[in-house]
């Protein structure tokens, strides 16, 4: 089953008379149960692509569909509803509200998806090694703890599609292995996952690796 599809995505940024092509005709398909790693150098378009796939940014050309529904060029309320129902998002800039604790951030994500499962929160906090930090606010977390908390929030509503930007960038190898085990288990249960990463360990765990360079997907 097609969980997420992108059709010929283009995204341009302008600064004065200068134009930068961040995405140049990117198409991809993410199926249920599939784990894709997106790799490329800094500035290659990884974060822009994830933002367009999540409906956080609008492509200038092409469109995105999630679970068979068009996400691109829809009213923000429509995009927000589709995100809440189907997509878990972890961005590099953080998906945590500073005035909320880790647990509260997870509960908020669940409520947006009209879900309530305290046991799922307990399981995720344990899996992420955050059980003792559940009442901490983002500013009280280390870089690694914040990354794990952001991923826990993205996964809290058990989304059909997970989009994560560098989820293991600031964690040690032991924690990275635990996160990869969690992501693999999630895919085995039918969840679709696309992760932008520089981690070779994560790439080795994925079903397939997509490489992006200068806004284009490349082979090899």
Q: What is the pLDDT of residue 34?
A: 97
> How far from 50 is each of 71, 124, 133, 134, 173, CA to CA, in Å?
13, 23, 28, 27, 25
Domain that holds residue 212: 2-218
Average pLDDT, integer, range 89-116: 88
pLDDT digits (tens, 9 = 90+) for 146-196: 888 999 999 999 999 999 998 888 788 888 888 888 899 899 999 999 999
Write the CB contacts of 16 (distance below 8 Å, at least 6 apart in sequence). Answer: none
Number of compact structural domains in the chain = 1
Percent of the chain whose pLDDT exceeds 90: 68
Q: What is the pLDDT of residue 113?
A: 86
Q: What is the pLDDT of residue 39?
A: 95
Which residue spans within 50-119 are E strands per DSSP? 61-66, 69-70, 87-90
CATH of residue 24's domain is 3.40.50.300
Consecutive H or E run containing 22: strand 18-31
Query: Is residue 95 very low, low, confident or very high in pLDDT (cuts 50, 70, 90)?
Result: confident
Q: Whole-model pTM?
A: 0.91
Average pLDDT, integer, range 126-152: 90
Contact 218, 28 (CB under 8 A): no
Q: What is the pLDDT of residue 220?
A: 55
Long-range pairs, 119-127, Cβ under 8 A, ≥24: 120/156, 120/158, 121/156, 124/152, 124/155, 124/156, 125/152, 127/152, 127/178, 127/182
pLDDT digits (tens, 9 = 90+) for 36-88: 999 999 889 999 999 999 999 999 999 999 999 999 999 999 999 999 999 99
Rounded Cα distance, 76 and 97, in Å: 20
């Amino acid at each position: 089953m097609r969980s997420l599809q992108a059709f010929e995505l283009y995204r341009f940024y302008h600064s004065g008379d200068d134009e930068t092509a961040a995405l140049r005709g990117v198409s991809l398909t993410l199926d249920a149960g599939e784990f894709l790693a997106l790799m490329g150098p800094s500035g290659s378009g990884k974060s822009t692509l994830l933002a367009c796939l999540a409906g956080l940014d609008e492509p200038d050309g092409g469109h995105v569909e999630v679970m068979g529904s068009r996400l691109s060029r829809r009213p923000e309320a429509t995009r927000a509803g589709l995100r809440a129902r189907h997509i878990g998002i972890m961005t590099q800039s953080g998906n945590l509200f500073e005035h909320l604790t880790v647990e509260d951030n997870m509960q908020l994500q669940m409520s947006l998806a009209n879900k309530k499962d305290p046991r799922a929160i307990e399981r995720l906090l344990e899996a992420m090694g955050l059980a003792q930090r559940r009442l901490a606010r983002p500013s009280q977390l280390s870089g690694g703890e914040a990354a794990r908390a952001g991923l826990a929030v993205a996964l809290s509503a058990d989304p059909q599609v997970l989009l994560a930007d560098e989820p293991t960038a600031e964690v040690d190898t032991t924690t990275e292995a635990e996160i990869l085990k969690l992501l693999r288990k999630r895919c085995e249960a039918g969840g679709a996952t696309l992760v932008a990463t520089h981690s070779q360990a994560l790439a080795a765990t994925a079903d397939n690796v997509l490489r992006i360079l200068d806004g284009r997907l490349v082979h090899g």
